[in-house]
Structure 1
Amino acid sequence: MATGYFPERLKDATLPPSPAMSPGPTAQRSSALQSRITSVLAASYSDLEIRDALETLDARQVHNTAETRRNLRLDAQQELIQCNGEIIRDFGQVAQQLQRVGAAIEDLNKLCSNMRSHISAANRETGPMLEESTAMMAQRQQTETKQQLLGAFTSHFLLSDAEITSLTSTAEPVTDAFFQALTRVKQIHDDSQLLLGTEDQQLGLEILEQSSKQLNAAFQKLFRWTQRELRTLDLENPQLSISVRRALRVLAERPALFQSCLDFFAENREQVLSDAFYAALTGGFAQRIGGPASGKAIELSAHDPLRYVSDMLAWAHAATVGEREALQILFISDADEISRNIKAGREREPWLQITDGTDGEEVAAFDGKRALNDLVDRDLSGVLRQLRQRVEQTIQSHEDATLAYQISNLIRFYCSIFVPLLGPKSTIIQTLQPITQKAFEQFRTLMRDHIANIHSDVSVTPLDLSPPDFLLEALETLKGLMKSYDTSLANASSGEDRTGFQAVLEEALDPYLAGCDSISKGMGAPQSQILAINCLLATKETLKGRAFTANRLDQVDEAVEDQAERLVHTVHAWFVSESGLKRLFDGLKEYKDTNLGQGIAGIRKVREMQPDRLADMAQKLDAFLPGAMEDARAFVGKLADKRMVREVCDKAADLFVEEFESAERIVIGLDETILAEQGEELEEGMLLRDVFPRTSDEIKVLLS
């Protein structure tokens, strides 16, 4: 329509004005038409109003003709009038409907008025009843709330009859129900203290008192039940009763009851182990179970006293290890919880913070390892009493010093084993250490008695200068003592003190060496030195190879060297005496000591330097030298060490050669003086060298 309507209008609008038209009005109309056309052409198709108008025309299928354009306004107004008429007719129908609605509303208003009058009358009649019902509902709600509060309070703060029976009745066993009820009572006891801060304190006091009585009854029941269980507890079972362990953890909240249980258990175990030890000793039947299993009776199978003591100590050690392993689960696995419970119990009972009124020391925190060691220590106290009695009887009934020392060493070895198990301050260590000292004192007494009995042997001098029999016997005994001490060190800890054997040497060796020294002092040289050296060498042979005798070996070596040095001087004196040069050496030494500063010329006056005397000494020297070394070795031939014989003779020969060289230099010096004085007038045979021809080199060769 747009394409057909606007072009035609445009075409009509662009036609030239008719010449017949008058210029005035025609020009005005043309101007108005142009302005309208301009306004129409200026209108945009995108304008909504124009688009709506065009779409309306298009919908009505209006064709763009001159007649349509002329009647368009009339047609539109006519259509508008028709639409308004239809609207009026429709509103007339609506008015009629509204009249009917108004009548219906009026009827409803009348009904409502009637109903309001009836309702007002009913309200007047039911008002008191409603007020009473509302008050009753509010009262019911309050009652239900109080009932809920009472139920919650009762369920939290009061125990059921079944729980009270399980908690306090001794006829009921201690089961999980008991521990659950006990946990509830403890919670009630703690929560009841909160009630003391409220307005109704009386209720809190009553609940607190009731819960305290129930707690006391429950702990007393648990205490008695634990005692019964501990009395029949089988420690051979690697898994102890879980209920007993739980009971001990709970009883730790009452430190006094917990300690009483431990004391009761220790007394019971002490009796059990004592019976078992007595059964192991005698082969009897133990009335109670406990202690390591054993075969034959110790008193019947161990005929050797050392074996007897060793078996008893081994039984005690096995019992200690077994008891400790069995009880370890009671204190080590639950130590932290027991410690916390004991601490909480002491905080609730402040008067238990002080051990006693004397020292005022505060109770130390619970230590599971220490408690275990203390309990095992107490369990073995009965065994230790029997052990100490029998060991002391064994020591006193045998007068054997070696046995006494071996027992002392054996007990010391077991002490080193018990210390890591129970600690250095345990009862078993305090029991065994005095026995060790007593055994060593017995050893010392027997050794001194033995030394007193051999005084007659000390006065007898051995002909072959070998070590006396009493020394050889003492060295054999010392070997056994050293073996015992070495064995105890090998099995003890690496930090064992290896100087402890010094006291044994003082008792088992020094008196015998002193006896040998007394014998040697009563003999002349070289027999005294040879006997002393032989005794010392035998002692050295016995002591060597042991680390704990190193210090004494050094002392023996020094003594041997000292005696060997003395023997060298004795052999040297023998060389001087047997060679015939003693008077010569003594004369020269005396001259040197008394005539210092006079020179060599004065030596001519020495008697031993006269030619005739030198000739006599030279003759004796020549006779001595060929067999001098063999004779010297025969002189000290009773030395046990042949190598030392050669060394002593060689050193003595060296001293003899040195002294001879000194005399030789004097002879040569005198000959030079004579030659200087007489010159060519010297007669043959006037020189000292002619009558004393031996040189030091020749003597070295002959004595080598």
Structure 2
Amino acid sequence: DSFKDCKSVVSSNKLLKHFTMKEIAGADQLRNVKPDVSTEKTVSNPLSRKISKILETRLENDKSAVEALKELSTFFPENTLRARRNLRGQIERRTVTINQEFVAALREVKEAVDNIYNDVKTINAQCAEMKVKLQVAKAETRHLTEQTARLHSQRSILEMQQEVAKAFTTAYLVSPEEVALLKSSSPSIGPAFFAALDKTQTVRNNTKHLLQTGHQKTALEVMSHSSEVREAGVTALYQWLLQAARHSDTVTHTVPAAMVYLEDRPQLFKLVVEEWVVVRRGALNRNFLHSLTHLSPTHSPIELGAHSPTRYVGDMLAWLHQALAGEREVMGALFGACKTIDLNSETSSSVASIAESVCRPLKTRIEQMIVSSEHSKTSVVATGIGGIKMDAAMQEQAAAANKKPVLLYKMSGLLQFYRNTIDQLTGTGVLVLTLEELQQLSHKMFLASLHTQVAVGCERLPTPPPSLSPAVGVTALLALLSDVITAATLLTHQQHDHADQVVDMVVTPLLAALGNSCDGVGRVEANVYLLNCYHQLYATVSLLHTANTDAKLQQIQESSNKALEELSEHQRTAVLARLGLLPMLPHIAAACGGAGAPATINMARIPECSPALVHSFLSKLDQFLSHPDSYLLSALRLMLSTSHRQHILRDTSTTLLQHYTALHSVLTAKPGAGYPPPDKLMLKTPDMIRSLMML
């Protein structure tokens, strides 16, 4: 409030500075006077100038004046003469009052400041006293402070040494618990055991760095201790793996992890693998022998199919392939966690060693099937092909014997297929070599039996039967070849090469034997018989699509074309003779002059070319055009191939059309040579004949 009053005093003083009582009175008198322009121009005294200055003053532009007037309005309510006259005194009284209030307030402030000074002085005295006491206490406890600082420094050093010792122990020493676990007589193999072994290896690696720093004695002691502990752990792990191999049929997740720690011990690693191989080998042998004679949930005893060699051999090899695939999974799981070995090579060699256990029983049984098939074949081959009369039992036995080469060929293909398949599982092992040996034996005996059967069959081929269809011996050889080709279509590329060899062994001697078997038979019947045999032989060989097939088919086709051409010649001669055209041909050729131009010959006077004979020829020609098949030779009706008959008929029709065209040209060239007019005698032109013959 005092400061506010001071502000009012200042404003009042400003107001007094601008307005004096005299100026206000003069202004009041002049307010009622009207200014005269002429007088204003002439009067120029100081009072007039001052009044003019006051009147021209703009109070709204003077901030200090505006503030003074605002303050004046607080205690100058009315603008009267009396109030204006008392204004100065009122302002002075107000100023005095405000100054008195200010002095009173300032006195209170001074008293408060004096009190604060006294308080500060008292506090200063007390602080000085406390300072003296602190200096005395500091002097008395100086040795305790120094001792505390020294102990604190020693504590920091000891803590650092403790951390260093702890880090050294962790990096270079195996804990007592880990030592006890690794040296235990019956340790619990698991993550804790593997972690302890990893710790020993870590200590060994860290010790190598310790040797480089000059602490050889400490490093050697640490390395000796860690090596001793690790050796005990590896030995325990080795014994545990041997027990796991002997008493467990499956590979648990712990076994592959344990095998990793034996990788740096090749000898122990090899012994463990050999133990697993021995155990799995015995199990595979037992399971194989058991599957031969006992029923299982997945299949019946394999021995039940022994009556069918291919099924018996196929079942044994299929079971073995499935079993070896399972063994490969087991060994793959055993080596699954190892990192320094060739997983595929190690697994294949282990499976190959396991598979050796079944080589002897498998080889014995397959050899028995191969040999029994060969013996059963050779016992009846002579009676089965030679065409000798046999009873029903002998015929059935001969038919079965004729299929034995096919069985040998199928067994050879099976052995080759499973040899390649098992080779992918085991690599080149004893079992693969055994299968390869059996395959070669089977193929060798197949070729020998096939050669014998083909030789005997070709040697004893009978003469063509009345039906001119392939003889029984030829049919048997073709059936044998068909079965071999059918089996070859399911085999590998290498077996296809063998199939080419088989085709060559059958086709070449059979073609030669067919020609020799037709001695003493008419040429037409012989050629029809040969064409029927060639037709079936061509159809059989065409089933096999190999590099050598085209050459053999070409050879058969050439033989067929030769026989077909000879038959066409016989058929043409027979048809021309039956139509009565054969005697006319020399005269027609002479009339044509040999070059197609008619000569000056009167053919009507020639007995063989009389009008009656020409008319008879034309009548028979109409019959031929309506029923050409009725003019076929009787032997040609026995042809098995319709295309061959059609070829002969087409060739005959073409020849007949040529002769008819020549006769037509002769008769039309000399219409009055003793013949009726050509348009009445030969009603059909050569083009019409060609259309009727569908040439």
Question: Which TM-score band (shorter chain)?
Answer: 0.5 to 0.7
Note the alpha carbon deviations across 1:436-484, whole angstroms, 9 max, x for none.
Answer: 3432221111011123334552364545533222112222333443454
User: Percent identity between the aligned chains?
Assistant: 19
Query: Partner of 1:527 in structure 2?
Result: 525
Query: Partner of 1:270 in structure 2?
Result: 281
Tell me the CA shift for residue 174 of structure 1: 1.0
Pick the aligned partner of 1:518 from 516, 519, 542: 516
Cα distance in 2 for residues equivalent to 1:538 and 1:697: 41
Alignment of 1:225-624 (within 5 A): 225-235=240-250, 240-251=251-262, 258=269, 261-282=272-293, 297-299=301-303, 302-324=306-328, 338=337, 342=339, 345=340, 366-367=342-343, 372=347, 375-399=350-374, 400=377, 402-410=403-411, 412-413=413-414, 416=417, 423=424, 426-427=427-428, 431-454=434-457, 456-458=459-461, 460=463, 462-485=465-488, 488=490, 501-520=499-518, 523-540=521-538, 556=556, 559-574=559-574, 611=606
Tell me the CA shift for residue 276 of structure 1: 1.6
Note the alpha carbon deviations across 1:187-210, whole angstroms, 9 max, x for none.
Answer: 333333443443535434543454
Tell me the CA shift for residue 395 of structure 1: 0.8
What amino acid is aligned across from residue 566 of structure 1 in structure 2?
Answer: E
Query: Partner of 2:53 in structure 1?
Result: none
| Secondary structure of the corresponding residue to residue 526 of structure 1 | helix
What amino acid is aligned across from residue 153 of structure 1 in structure 2?
Answer: F
- Evaluate the alpha carbon distance shift between residue 13 and residue 263 of structure 1 in structure 2; reply closer, same or farther with a 3 A threshold: same
- Evaluate the alpha carbon distance shift between residue 226 and residue 572 of structure 1 in structure 2; reply closer, same or farther with a 3 A threshold: same
- Evaluate the alpha carbon distance shift between residue 201 and residue 587 of structure 1 in structure 2; reply closer, same or farther with a 3 A threshold: farther
What amino acid is aligned across from residue 410 of structure 2 in structure 1?
Answer: N
- Evaluate the alpha carbon distance shift between residue 68 and residue 653 of structure 1 in structure 2; reply closer, same or farther with a 3 A threshold: closer
Contact 2:579 2:620 survives alignment (8 Å): yes
Tell me the CA shift for residue 163 of structure 1: 0.7
Cα distance in 1 for residues equivalent to 2:320 and 2:256: 26
Query: Partner of 1:166 in structure 2?
Result: 181
Contact 1:467 1:534 survives alignment (8 Å): yes
| Secondary structure of the corresponding residue to residue 518 of structure 2 | helix
Query: Partner of 2:21 in structure 1?
Result: 11
Tell me the CA shift for residue 533 of structure 1: 0.9
What amino acid is aligned across from residue 194 of structure 2 in structure 1?
Answer: F
- Evaluate the alpha carbon distance shift between residue 71 and residue 636 of structure 1 in structure 2; reply closer, same or farther with a 3 A threshold: closer
- Evaluate the alpha carbon distance shift between residue 462 and residue 689 of structure 1 in structure 2; reply closer, same or farther with a 3 A threshold: farther
Tell me the CA shift for residue 241 of structure 1: 1.5
- Evaluate the alpha carbon distance shift between residue 136 and residue 689 of structure 1 in structure 2; reply closer, same or farther with a 3 A threshold: same
| Secondary structure of the corresponding residue to residue 178 of structure 2 | helix
Alignment of 1:641-680 (within 5 A): 641=641, 644-645=644-645, 648-649=648-649, 651-652=651-652, 654-655=654-655, 658-659=658-659, 662=662
- Evaluate the alpha carbon distance shift between residue 14 and residue 601 of structure 1 in structure 2; reply closer, same or farther with a 3 A threshold: closer
Contact 1:182 1:218 survives alignment (8 Å): yes
Contact 2:454 2:477 survives alignment (8 Å): no
What amino acid is aligned across from residue 268 of structure 1 in structure 2?
Answer: V
Contact 2:207 2:219 survives alignment (8 Å): yes
Contact 2:332 2:347 survives alignment (8 Å): yes
Contact 2:531 2:560 survives alignment (8 Å): yes
- Evaluate the alpha carbon distance shift between residue 419 and residue 71 of structure 1 in structure 2; reply closer, same or farther with a 3 A threshold: same
Contact 1:302 1:308 survives alignment (8 Å): yes
What amino acid is aligned across from residue 270 of structure 1 in structure 2?
Answer: R
Contact 2:234 2:262 survives alignment (8 Å): yes
- Evaluate the alpha carbon distance shift between residue 694 and residue 187 of structure 1 in structure 2; reply closer, same or farther with a 3 A threshold: same
Tell me the CA shift for residue 659 of structure 1: 4.8
What amino acid is aligned across from residue 234 of structure 1 in structure 2?
Answer: D
- Evaluate the alpha carbon distance shift between residue 132 and residue 199 of structure 1 in structure 2; reply closer, same or farther with a 3 A threshold: farther
Tell me the CA shift for residue 562 of structure 1: 3.9
Alignment of 1:60-99 (within 5 A): none
Cα distance in 1 for residues equivalent to 2:232 and 2:587: 114
| Secondary structure of the corresponding residue to residue 634 of structure 1 | coil
| Secondary structure of the corresponding residue to residue 505 of structure 1 | helix
- Evaluate the alpha carbon distance shift between residue 449 and residue 696 of structure 1 in structure 2; reply closer, same or farther with a 3 A threshold: farther
Contact 1:282 1:298 survives alignment (8 Å): yes
Contact 1:267 1:379 survives alignment (8 Å): yes
Note the alpha carbon deviations across 1:138-160, whole angstroms, 9 max, x for none.
Answer: 55653443234223321342122
Note the alpha carbon deviations across 1:661-683, whole angstroms, 9 max, x for none.
Answer: 658867998x89x98xxxxxxxx
Cα distance in 2 for residues equivalent to 1:660 and 1:584: 11
What amino acid is aligned across from residue 533 of structure 2 in structure 1?
Answer: C
Cα distance in 1 for residues equivalent to 2:681 and 2:88: 192
RMSD: 6.4
What amino acid is aligned across from residue 529 of structure 1 in structure 2?
Answer: N
Tell me the CA shift for residue 320 of structure 1: 3.1
Contact 1:466 1:640 survives alignment (8 Å): yes
Contact 2:351 2:425 survives alignment (8 Å): no
- Could you tell me which runs of 5 or more consecutive residues in structure 2 were left unpaired when the two chains were aligned: 1-7, 27-46, 48-58, 76-84, 378-401
| Secondary structure of the corresponding residue to residue 223 of structure 1 | helix
| Secondary structure of the corresponding residue to residue 529 of structure 1 | helix
Asked if 1:203 is matched to 2:204, the reply is no
Cα distance in 2 for residues equivalent to 1:173 and 1:109: 77
Cα distance in 1 for residues equivalent to 2:632 and 2:168: 118
TM-score, normalised to structure 2's length?
0.64
Cα distance in 1 for residues equivalent to 2:411 and 2:266: 40
Cα distance in 1 for residues equivalent to 2:426 and 2:332: 19
Cα distance in 1 for residues equivalent to 2:94 and 2:658: 177
What amino acid is aligned across from residue 381 of structure 1 in structure 2?
Answer: E
Cα distance in 2 for residues equivalent to 1:636 and 1:73: 165
Query: Partner of 2:44 in structure 1?
Result: none
Contact 2:524 2:570 survives alignment (8 Å): yes
Cα distance in 1 for residues equivalent to 2:25 and 2:164: 107
Cα distance in 2 for residues equivalent to 1:147 and 1:73: 87
Contact 2:604 2:611 survives alignment (8 Å): no
Contact 1:231 1:268 survives alignment (8 Å): yes
Contact 1:532 1:563 survives alignment (8 Å): yes
Cα distance in 1 for residues equivalent to 2:683 and 2:425: 72
